Every structure is written in C-alpha cells, then in structure tokens.
Amino acid sequence: MKPEKNKRYTSYLQEPKIRVWKDTVLKAGCKIYSVKPLNLYYKPNGELLFALLSVNAEAPDGNKLPSIIFIRGHASIVVPLVINRDTEVKQYLMVKQRRIASGEICLEFPAGMLDTNIYNPVNVAMTELFEETGISLPEKELFPLSDSLLYSSPGASDEGIYYFGCRIILSNSEFQSLEGQIHGNLSENEKIILTLKSREEAEAQLTSLQACLGFYLFEEYYKKSNEK
C-alpha cells in the first residue's frame, strides 16, 4: 500500500495512525464500542501528529480496557555501526539533541515516526538516517533487529518501534568528519549533533531506554548470526 501524504480526512477515525491502532486492537480479539476525540493535533501539512482519545473497549474475556489512549503512531530506529576502513576502529553513530520531556540533551540513535508511511518502516529508517546523519544507504543494507514490533508504553500509548541495524564502512577522513556534524530541520526546532561512541562510552551517558535496547538488539543480532 502506498503511503498517504498530506491528506486531511473527513473523519479523524480515517487517519492512518488511528486505523492501524483500531485494527490492531480488533485483531487481538477485543471489541471497540466507541471512540471519542479529547484532542487532535495536526501538522501544518495536514497530517495527524498526535491524538488523545477516550475509548470504550472490551477485552475477549469481557473485562473493560483502560479508557484513555494516546495515539502517537509507530516509529523506526536505526542502529548504525561505523567501521574505519583504515584503522579498523568500530564506533556507533549516535545523535545528541535536547528533548522536551526532560529538557536535557539526550544521546540517541537516528529515529523517526512513520506518520502516514505506516506500511514501510524500512523506508522511514532510510530517510531518517539520511536526514539526521547525511548518510544514504540502499534498503538492502539495513537489517531488522527484531522479529516483531516493540511497544514502548503499551499501557497508555499505541507507539511501537521497528528496530533496524546497519554497518557503514568509511575512510579515516570520512570517519573523523562525522564527529560534531550538525543536522536536522531547524524549522521544526531540530538541532541534531552527531557523535561516535563505543557502547561503554554511550552507556555512561544514556537516559534513553530506546537507545539501551538498540545496543542490546544489535549485539544480540550479531551474536546469533555468528552462531549459525
């Protein structure tokens, strides 16, 4: 299915993020009797960014589900391991940016929301990697780090995360040039600073569970690959 772009729907229930959430809940055997919007927040281009909904829903055993859901939509995260061709040094390429939840600068991996591109998480991963780091890779160079969607806060939000990994081989000059580069969309208040870290260096600074999980998934992927 092709992504639906810049379209304002006649009903908020037709928004791709909300449709995917409803379909997922119904597929699990639950029933949804009513959905009411408490707040809807749209991007300037007409895409739904967030929704806060009041829901009357029932589990297969007849118990009521919690009545409030924050619709954020799914996201893709890329864990890039950069290899210096000349020195054979290996470092993870990470991004630093100040986050509204804590007000602090957070150390993270490149990531982005699927928005209306809900059926193509690998394409979103490629796009975000380029937009946040300036590195362009073909789809075949990215590999999934998990067999399933991983939910970040299923008690309150629909957000699930697709994790991807990649290996990037660069010359020494290209490798060295990554540190301190600035990327991001300034019109969206994004100021993203690149940094190269070992896992040990990063974990001493991490406050993001998503980044912690990224390290684990990446290294488990390679451990299993080497066991085959």
Same domain flag for 178 and 219 = yes
Examine residue 111 and state whether it is found in any structural domain, yes or no.
yes
- For residue 226, the tally of other CB atoms under 10 A from its CB is 7
Please state whether beta strands 75-84 and 160-170 pair in parallel, antiparallel, or not at all (unpaired): parallel
Supply the range of the domain harboring residue 25.
12-71
Among 71, 88, 116, the domain boundary falls at 71
What pLDDT sits at residue 228?
A: 60
Running DSSP on this structure, what letter comes out for residue 128?
Answer: H
pLDDT at 128 over 50: yes
pLDDT at residue 8, as a whole number:
63
185, pLDDT greater than 80: no
∠ CA 180-129-141 to the nearest 5 degrees? 120
The answer to whether residues 88 and 145 belong to one domain is: yes
Mean pLDDT of the chain: 92
195 within some domain = yes
Residue 181 has pLDDT above 70, yes or no: yes
pLDDT of residue 118: 87
pLDDT at 27: 97
The pLDDT assigned to 2 comes to: 44
The pLDDT assigned to 7 comes to 59
Q: Do residues 153 and 65 both lie within one domain?
A: no
| Per-residue pLDDT tens over the stretch 141-179 | 999 999 999 999 999 999 999 999 999 999 999 999 999
Q: Does 3 map to a domain?
A: no
Do both 86 and 104 map to the same domain? Answer: yes
Two structure tokens written together for 66: 């919690």
pLDDT value of residue 115: 87
The candidate with the shortest Cα–Cα distance to 53, out of 22, 80, 31, is 22
What tokens does 6 get? 């810049």
Tokens for 44?
């300037």
Contact between 32 and 57 under an 8 Å Cβ cutoff? The reply is yes
- Confidence check: pLDDT of 202 > 80: yes
Which of these three, 48, 71, 94, is where a domain ends?
71
| Residue 52, helix vs strand vs coil | strand
Tell me the per-residue pLDDT of 5-33, one tens digit each, with 9 for 90 and over.
555 677 899 999 999 999 999 999 999 99
How does residue 69 score in pLDDT terms, banded at 50, 70 and 90? very high
Number of domains forming the structure of the chain? 2
* Cα→Cα distances 37→11, 12, 71, 105, 114, Å: 11, 8, 11, 33, 21
Q: Tell me: the pLDDT tens digits for 86-125?
A: 999 999 999 999 998 999 999 999 999 998 888 999 999 9
Phi and psi at residue 201, to the nearest 5°: -65, -45
Distance between CA atoms of 109 and 129, rounded to whole angstroms? 9
| Residue 44 or 195, more confident | 195
**Among 46, 71, 96, where does a domain finish?**
71
Q: Is 19 found in the same domain as 110?
A: no
Let me know whether 80 and 174 are in one domain: yes
Query: What is the Cα–Cα distance from 114 to 72, expressed in whole angstroms?
Result: 10
Give CA–CA dist 186/97, Å, rounded. 12
Q: Give CA 196 to chain center in angstroms.
A: 20
**Helix count (H) and strand count (E) of the chain?**
5, 12
Listed residue (141, 5, 151, 130) closest to 69, CA to CA? 151
Pick the most confident of 26-30, 41-45, 189-193: 26-30
Query: What pLDDT shows up at residue 3?
Result: 45
